[in-house]
Structure 1
Amino acid sequence: MGPDAERTRGGATSGRQSGPTSGRGAAARGGAKGGPRKSSTAGAGGRSSGPARGHGYAPARPRELDAKIEERNRERHNKPQVKTPKTFPGAEQEGERLQKVLARAGMGSRRACEELIEMSRVEVNGEIVTEQGLRVDPEKDEIKVDGLTVATQSYLFFALNKPAGVVSTMEDPDGRQCLGDYVTNRDTRLFHVGRLDTETEGIILLTNHGELAHRLTHPKYGVQKTYLAAITGPLPRDIGKQLKSGIQLEDGWARADNFRVIQQTGKNYLVEVTLHEGRKHIVRRMLAEAGFPVEKLVRTGFGPIPLGDQKSGWLRRLTNTEVGMLMREVEL
């Protein structure tokens, strides 16, 4: 071939190499075997070809579609909750399980209350319960443990160590310190069981159980109250016999149930007087009539509830056992 033919063949060869690379080399430099295929740029037209079908990245989602999806999700999560009816076994039964009521009343954990039932120590309306799961109405059913009534209702029982100088009323129109000053943070209205003289210290009960309060102060039930009195002697040997036999007062005879000397220091005596009457100033008047005016008086017990080491001015809630003992005292 001549030189012209060689030039022609060389031009064609150079023309094939100057265009876009094709064949196996192209694939190795970024095609199917080298990762995502890159977009190629058209020559003369200046148009860009998009990603090849089946390869590369998906086109961006329109904002309108995102807004619709978000709105649909919001509606799904904001749907009102549908309350399904109770279909579990026993839902149609009334009342509460006995062990739950006992646990709430302070008789121990639910497991401990179940053990009380297993030991036949619990009775409802006079009948001993031997099986678990009994449902009761705390407001109506009488529940007892070891013969003592359990205070399951919404009643409150407190013991206050009343200081001297406090008036035995829940309110005082003259602005004096009274029992109500010690229970100002209680939502339920309480009232006092009986009274103590203004200068007498010691235990006084507060409750919202009207029937119990009435019986505790009624002479029929004869609930005893115990007092410690500081007096000056000397005391005759038969002073106790005199007080138990009866002292004539202006409003009738008054008798002590028990009398004893607790402490003696020279002519100063600390004596204990127990009686079930509740007349005004009864202990002070009895001892004064016998010839021994009282210098200081403290009530140390109301029925089965002792004052113990409770500090002056302190209010404490009665235990469930103490409430049960009070109720048994007055046949409740």
Structure 2
Amino acid sequence: MERLQKYIASCGITSRRKAEELILNGHVKVNGVTINELGTKIDPDKDIVTVNDKRITEKNEFVYIKLNKPTGYITTVKDQFGRKTVLDLINVKERIYPIGRLDFNTSGLLLLTNDGELANKLMHPKYHIYKTYIADVRGQVSEESLQKLRTGVHIEDYKTSPAKAKLIELKDNKSTVQISIYEGKNRQVRKMMDAVGHPVLSLKRISFGEINLANLKSGEWAYLSNNEINFLKKG
């Protein structure tokens, strides 16, 4: 027996977290009966599961992609306002979706897959996978400000986990900072820099754990290598 949301994710429909939303919103049926409560278990060999009245089956082949996201694209599968999404940049037959997010004005490394179980794992902060960013910020960043980032800063109603932070360059009234975090809260790096008095002018993610952009130009994508896939799956 397998939890329904886990099965939906293993079919490559979406992440487990989004699968839970599909269930709660009444989009999932098991053997023709709508399920809208979490906790249901199914037998994948016997039960028929449909999402929006379309039968789903488990994926045996997964794809793993990295994209150098330009600014001006949103990190969703589709947008109700007709804005450009990261999927407009990738031409594959599989139904893929992003692992985590980069906001509209942030560029850089974004991973995409149809492996819902792995996506669910990678988005959980308990795995401590550091994402590294290069931020151009306003003002001259002091060692005191960097130390605050390293020990955690208060944002809204929470304190961030310790970050890795170092100064790359000072120029006039602008600084370039490298910052690594393993949390993934909405616009977190921007809010952290605001908290120490240095608003972000531009932001780019350059790595996700051991995976980096390599030679990918803005807007380009590539399949992950076996070594990169193994990194994501280990632990």
Aligned twin of 2:79: 172
How big is the shift at 1:222? 1.6
What SS does the aligned partner of 2:117 have?
A: helix
Is residue 256–residue 273 contact of structure 1 (8 Å, CA) maintained in 2? no
Which of 123, 142, 150 is 1:244 aligned to?
150
Q: Which runs of 5+ in 1 are unaligned?
A: 1-152
* Pair 1:213-2:119 in alignment: yes
* Pair 1:263-2:169 in alignment: yes
TM-score in terms of structure 1 length: 0.51
* Alpha-carbon distance between aligned partners in 2 of 1:299 and 1:206, rounded to the nearest angstrom: 15
* Alpha-carbon distance between aligned partners in 1 of 2:206 and 2:165, rounded to the nearest angstrom: 14
Which of 317, 325, 328 is 2:223 aligned to?
317
Aligned twin of 2:133: 227
* Offset from partner CA, 1:55-79 (integer Å, 9 cap, x none): xxxxxxxxxxxxxxxxxxxxxxxxx
How big is the shift at 1:309? 3.1
How big is the shift at 1:247? 0.8
Q: Identity of counterpart residues, as a percentage?
A: 36
The amino acid that maps onto 1:213 is: A
* Alpha-carbon distance between aligned partners in 2 of 1:315 and 1:295, rounded to the nearest angstrom: 25
Q: Which one has the bigger strand percentage?
A: 2
What SS does the aligned partner of 1:242 have?
A: helix
The amino acid that maps onto 1:319 is: S
Which of 66, 69, 81 is 1:159 aligned to?
66
* Alpha-carbon distance between aligned partners in 2 of 1:320 and 1:171, rounded to the nearest angstrom: 29
Aligned twin of 1:296: 202
Q: Relative contact order (C-alpha < 8 Å, sep 6+): which is higher?
A: 2
* Alpha-carbon distance between aligned partners in 1 of 2:134 and 2:98, rounded to the nearest angstrom: 21
Q: Which runs of 5+ in 2 are unaligned?
A: 1-59
- Is the radius of gyration larger for structure 1 or structure 2? 1
* Offset from partner CA, 1:212-234 (integer Å, 9 cap, x none): 11111012212110000001222
How big is the shift at 1:286? 0.6
Aligned twin of 2:15: none
The amino acid that maps onto 1:220 is: K
How big is the shift at 1:315? 1.0
TM-score in terms of structure 2 length: 0.72
1:64-143 alignment, distance < 5 Å: none
